[in-house]
Amino acid sequence: MAWSDICITGLGESPVGKVPEKSSTDLYAGVILDAVDDAGITPDDVDVLITGGSRVDPYLYHAEMMAEYLGITPPTCLTVNTGGSTSVSLLRQAAALLLAGMAEHVVIAKADNLATGMSRDSVVESMATIGHPELESPQGPTIPSLYALIEQRYLHRASLRPEEIAPVAVVDRYHASLNPAAQYRDPITTEDVLASRLISDPLRLLECAPVSDGGCAVVLSRRERASGKRPLVNVLAVGQAHDFEHVTQASSLEYTGARISGPAAFRDAGVSPSEIDVAMIYDAFAFIQCMQLEDLGFCAPGEGAAFVGDGNTRLGGALPVNTHGGVLSHSHAGRPSALFLVVEAARQLRNECGGRQVHGAATALVHGEGGILASHATAVLRAAS
Amino acid sequence: MTTTERPRPAGYDDHRPFWDGAAAGRLVVQRCTQCGAVRWPPRILCGACLSPEVEWVEATPTGSLFTWTVIHHTTLAGFKDDPPYAVGLVEVTVAGGLVRMLGGIRGCAPSELQVGMALRAQFEVVDDGALVNWVLVGDDERQET
Q: Does residue B1 fall inside a structural domain?
A: no
pLDDT of residue B144: 47
**A227 pLDDT tier (thresholds 50, 70, 90):** very high
Q: Do the chains contact at B87 and A149, CB–CB below 8 Å?
A: yes
Min Cα distance B71 → chain A (Å) is: 4
For A174-211, how does the pLDDT look when each residue is reduced to its tens digit (9 = 90+)?
A: 999 999 999 999 999 999 999 999 999 999 999 999 99
Q: Do the chains contact at A140 and B103, CB–CB below 8 Å?
A: no
Q: Which residues of A touch B99 (CB under 8 A)?
A: 248
Q: Report chain A's terminal Cα–Cα distance, integer Å.
A: 17
Instruction: Give the strands of the sheet with B38-39, arranged side by side.
Output: B38-39, B27-32, B54-59
Q: Does residue B17 fall inside a structural domain?
A: yes
CB A30 within 8 A of CB A60: no
Q: Does residue B110 fall inside a structural domain?
A: yes
Q: Do the chains contact at B72 and A198, CB–CB below 8 Å?
A: yes
pLDDT of residue A150: 97
Lowest mean pLDDT among A333-337, B6-10, B21-25, B32-36: B6-10
* Residue in A135, A149, A245 to test binding to B, most B beta-carbons within 10 Å: A135
CA distance A281 to A185: 19
Q: What is the mean pLDDT of chain A?
A: 95
pLDDT of residue A271: 97
Q: Of A321 and B19, which is predicted with more confidence?
A: A321
pLDDT of residue B28: 96
Q: Do the chains contact at B100 and A149, CB–CB below 8 Å?
A: no
Beta-strand relationship, B85-94 and B62-71: antiparallel
pLDDT of residue A206: 98
The complex's ipTM works out to 0.92
Considering only the beta carbons, identify the residue of B41, B69, B110 that sits closest to A149.
Answer: B69
* H and E: helices and strands count for chain A: 13, 11
Is some CB atom of chain A closer than 8 A to the CB atom of B64? no
* Residue in A248, A253, A372 to test binding to B, most B beta-carbons within 10 Å: A248
For A22-37, how does the pLDDT look when each residue is reduced to its tens digit (9 = 90+)?
A: 999 999 999 999 999 9
For B68-100, how does the pLDDT look when each residue is reduced to its tens digit (9 = 90+)?
A: 999 999 888 888 899 999 999 999 999 889 999
Q: Does residue B40 fall inside a structural domain?
A: yes
**A125 pLDDT tier (thresholds 50, 70, 90):** low
Q: What domains lie within chain A, and their CATH numbers? A: 3-119+211-225 (3.40.47.10)
Q: Which residues of A touch B (CB under 8 A)?
A: 120-121, 124-125, 128, 131-142, 144-145, 148-150, 152-153, 156, 197-203, 246-249, 253
The residue type at A212? S
pLDDT of residue A127: 58
- The mean pLDDT value for A85-101 works out to 96
- In terms of Cα–Cα distance, which of A176, A171, A169 is closest to A199? A169
- Sign (positive/negative) of CA torsion A41, A44, A48, A49? positive
Q: Do the chains contact at A200 and B82, CB–CB below 8 Å?
A: no
Lowest mean pLDDT among A31-40, A239-248, A345-354: A239-248
- The mean pLDDT value for B24-50 works out to 95
Instruction: Please list, in sequence order, all residues whose beta carbon lies within 8 angstroms of the beta carbon of residue A18, skipping any fewer than 6 positions away.
Output: A115, A116, A212, A213
Our count of domains for chain B comes to 1
Q: Do the chains contact at B110 and A201, CB–CB below 8 Å?
A: yes
Q: Do the chains contact at B71 and A142, CB–CB below 8 Å?
A: yes
CA distance A53 to A83: 11
> How far is residue A117 from each of residues A19, A55, B63, measured CA to CA in Å?
9, 9, 44
**B139 pLDDT tier (thresholds 50, 70, 90):** low
CA distance A200 to A142: 9
Q: Does residue B99 fall inside a structural domain?
A: yes
Half-sphere exposure of B40 (CA within 13 A, CB side): 30
Q: Residue B131: which domain range?
A: 8-144
Q: Does residue B2 fall inside a structural domain?
A: no
Instruction: Please list, in sequence order, all residues whose beta carbon lies within 8 angstroms of the beta carbon of residue A5, skipping any fewer than 6 positions away.
Output: A98, A99, A222, A223, A224
* Angle CA B119–B93–B88, to nearest 5: 40
For A288-317, how does the pLDDT look when each residue is reduced to its tens digit (9 = 90+)?
A: 999 999 999 999 999 999 999 999 999 999
Nearest-Cα residue of chain A relative to residue B18: A135
* pLDDT at B103 > cutoff 90: yes
- How many residue pairs from chains A and B have C-beta atoms closer than 8 A? 113
